[in-house]
Amino acid sequence: MSAISLQGVSKRFGETEVLHGIDLEIPPGEVVCVIGPSGSGKSTLLRCIAFLEEPTAGLISVYGEPLGFALGPDGKRQRLPRARIHAVRSHIGMVFQQFNLWPHMTALGNVSEALKTVRRLPVKEAEARAMAQLEKVGLAHHAGHYPSQLSGGQQQRVAIARALSLDPKIMLFDEPTSSLDPELTGEVLNVMRALAADGMTMVVVSHEIGFAASVGRRIVFLDHGRLLLQGGPQEVFRKPRHPRLDQFLDTYLDRGAAMLL
Amino acid sequence: MTFDLSLILSYGPELLLAAAATFGIWAAGSLAAVALGFAIALARRYGGFLVDGPLRLLVEIVRGTPFLVQLFLLYFGGPFIGLSLEPTEAGLLGLSIYGAAYFAEIFRAGLEAVPRSHVESAECLGFTRWQIVRRILVPEMTVLVLPPCVNMFIVLIKETAILSIITVPELTLVITGIGSKYYAFVEALFLLALFYWGLVELASRLGRLLEARLAKLSFAA
């Protein structure tokens, strides 16, 4: 069974169709890197999988469970009750470009909050588990710091620990390093590499072509809201390449990333 | 004619009682105004346009008319719709509604200022709407709205003076009563000003203290 299955997923904002009928099957444990020029719909695709955006057409399922919408007996798409949406979403962890830590809670508070509020664990147990997650991302010694007292890289690692707090089966990363200095990017990518090595199913929207090529088991190239290419990194990046992908990658070669390809 | 406070100060016990009344009405009115204002802000955010429309109108009416007029209407007009209130009751209710309209706007803006993405992170973790309000929106908003709230508390302190017009036995009524009895208006009003200023100073100092304590909880630069 696929960890994530997308069938004909489309999303339109008013007049603009951002995603056109995306089909995608992601088996458990696979690391999928979504690349593409800005405005190609990468983030929207990820946000649809997190159900932060509702697809205007098509179906998504997570480990066989329909996410948000299912086909009714009449063959039409029906919205599922809120409780079922919550249940499916709890399998998914999401990491954002801007970290989005809650500023009024410490690192430990951020990571333990969902365990306390959503899972209703006793405070002690929630904090012990949160501490273990912080340990994993190497920040146990910063547990008492507020987000404003942490560097961008540290904040993003806390955000990853927070997304992992409910033991999701799938992790979604929306340009997790785009707002970080190159120096801080490495520490975040290392955490993500370790997660991938642990067998986590991951969908990563990233401009880190190097990371995509080395960690991504599959590369998905979006262009103008269409899934233009997908396959292993060797297959997708090997020459001769699709002309649109070539064009897109040229912008990276310009920035001196040639040696990564 | 000499400036002599001793005459008025000889009414010590009465003055203290009246000062306590002012303080009590202010504290209770502020609390009720905050609660009601917050309820209005939440209802407007989540209640759909059928709730939002009437509440917006209410807020605009209260903000668009003088407090004095509202108070007269409530106290003297209330009986026409079966609402006969004692002066203190009417004063407290009036102050609460008046404050609530402003607090509702402060909280509405505060709720909107919390980044959408902070709410989305909670949604992704399966928080319900109420859990998001309680754990994310309210605490984050509190840091943001603290300065305008302190400002509003200060405004409300001074608005309690208007309650004297419907004979609420608060400090303005009592002290001006004594003043007019002995033609000692200047002394009376001087003491009155001193009292309000002291209370305002106390409120603003408390506010600044709280702001400093909460500073590290605001958004990272």
Whether residues B220 and A165 touch (CB distance < 8 A) is answered with no
Q: Determine, yes or no, domain membership for A121.
A: yes
Confirm or reject contact between B69 and chain A (CB < 8 A): no
Q: Which of these ranges, A96-100, A185-189, B108-112, has the smallest mean pLDDT?
A: A185-189
Confirm or reject contact between A104 and chain B (CB < 8 A): yes
Judged against a pLDDT cut of 70, whether residue A110 lies above it is answered with yes
Scan for tokens 């990194």, then name that residue: A233
Judged against a pLDDT cut of 90, whether residue B176 lies above it is answered with no
Q: Which of A246, A220, A73, A126 is nearest to B125 (CA)?
A: A126
Identify the residue among B116, B121, B136, B219 best suited for mutation to test binding to A, counting A beta carbons within 10 A and taking the highest: B121
Q: How many domains does chain A have?
A: 1
Whether residues B125 and A96 touch (CB distance < 8 A) is answered with no
Q: Determine, yes or no, domain membership for A122.
A: yes
Judged against a pLDDT cut of 70, whether residue B1 lies above it is answered with no
Judged against a pLDDT cut of 70, whether residue A261 lies above it is answered with no
Chain A residues with beta carbon closer than 8 angstroms to that of B117: 96, 98, 100
Residue B98 CB neighbours (<10 A): 24
Whether residues B216 and A146 touch (CB distance < 8 A) is answered with yes
In three-state secondary structure terms, A251 is: helix
Whether residues A147 and B220 touch (CB distance < 8 A) is answered with yes
- Is the distance from CB of B168 to CB of B87 less than 8 angstroms? yes
Q: Which CATH class is domain B6-217?
A: mainly alpha
For A231, the enclosing helix (H) or strand (E) is strand A226-231
Whether residues A162 and B121 touch (CB distance < 8 A) is answered with yes
Confirm or reject contact between B110 and chain A (CB < 8 A): no
The pLDDT value given to residue A231: 85
Chain A residues with beta carbon closer than 8 angstroms to that of B115: 100
Chain B residues with beta carbon closer than 8 angstroms to that of A104: 139-140, 143, 217
Chain B residues with beta carbon closer than 8 angstroms to that of A98: 117
Q: Determine, yes or no, domain membership for A117.
A: yes
The pLDDT value given to residue B220: 46
Domain map of chain B by residue range?
Answer: 6-217
* In chain B, % of residues over pLDDT 70: 98
For A12, the enclosing helix (H) or strand (E) is strand A4-13
Strands A65-66 and A4-13: unpaired
Nearest residue on chain B to A170, judged by CA atoms? B124
- Domain span at residue A163? 98-167
Residue B205 CB neighbours (<10 A): 11
For A108, the enclosing helix (H) or strand (E) is helix A107-117
Whether residues A100 and B143 touch (CB distance < 8 A) is answered with no
From A86, A100, A117, residue closest to B117, measured CB to CB? A100
- Is the distance from CB of A170 to CB of A62 less than 8 angstroms? yes
Sign of CA dihedral B148, B151, B156, B159: negative
Chain B residues with beta carbon closer than 8 angstroms to that of A112: none
Q: Note every long-range contact of A123-130, with CB atoms under 8 Å and residues 24 or more positions apart, other chains counting.
A: A129/A165, A130/A161, A130/A165
Judged against a pLDDT cut of 80, whether residue B197 lies above it is answered with yes
Q: Determine, yes or no, domain membership for A103.
A: yes
**Closest-CA distance of chain B to residue A163, Å:** 7
Name the band, by pLDDT with cuts 50, 70 and 90, for residue B221: very low
Nearest residue on chain B to A97, judged by CA atoms? B117
* Rounded-to-integer distance, Cα A151 and Cα B185, Å: 62
Q: Which of A19, A35, A27 is nearest to A2 (CA)?
A: A27
Judged against a pLDDT cut of 50, whether residue A152 lies above it is answered with yes
Q: Which of B163, B164, B165, B173 is nearest to B29 (CA)?
A: B163
Whether residues A52 and B124 touch (CB distance < 8 A) is answered with yes
Nearest residue on chain A to B142, judged by CA atoms? A104
Name the band, by pLDDT with cuts 50, 70 and 90, for residue A254: low
pLDDT tens figures, B137-168: 999 998 889 999 999 999 999 999 888 888 88
Whether residues A102 and B131 touch (CB distance < 8 A) is answered with no
Whether residues B218 and A148 touch (CB distance < 8 A) is answered with yes
Scan for tokens 């290392």, then name that residue: A190
The pLDDT value given to residue B188: 83
Whether residues A52 and B126 touch (CB distance < 8 A) is answered with no
Confirm or reject contact between B139 and chain A (CB < 8 A): yes
Q: Note every long-range contact of A145-148, with CB atoms under 8 Å and residues 24 or more positions apart, other chains counting.
A: A145/A106, A145/A107, A146/A103, A146/A104, A146/A105, A146/A106, A146/A107, A146/B216, A146/B217, A147/A99, A147/A101, A147/A102, A147/A103, A147/A107, A147/A110, A147/B220, A148/A103, A148/B216, A148/B217, A148/B218, A148/B219, A148/B220, A148/B221
The pLDDT value given to residue B154: 92
**Closest-CA distance of chain B to residue A126, Å:** 14
Judged against a pLDDT cut of 60, whether residue B48 lies above it is answered with yes
pLDDT tens figures, A182-216: 878 888 888 888 888 888 999 999 887 888 888 88
Whether residues A100 and B115 touch (CB distance < 8 A) is answered with yes
Predicted model pTM: 0.82
**Closest-CA distance of chain A to residue B119, Å:** 9
The pLDDT value given to residue A259: 52
Identify the residue among B125, B134, B136, B214 best suited for mutation to test binding to A, counting A beta carbons within 10 A and taking the highest: B125
Whether residues B126 and A90 touch (CB distance < 8 A) is answered with yes
Judged against a pLDDT cut of 90, whether residue B218 lies above it is answered with no
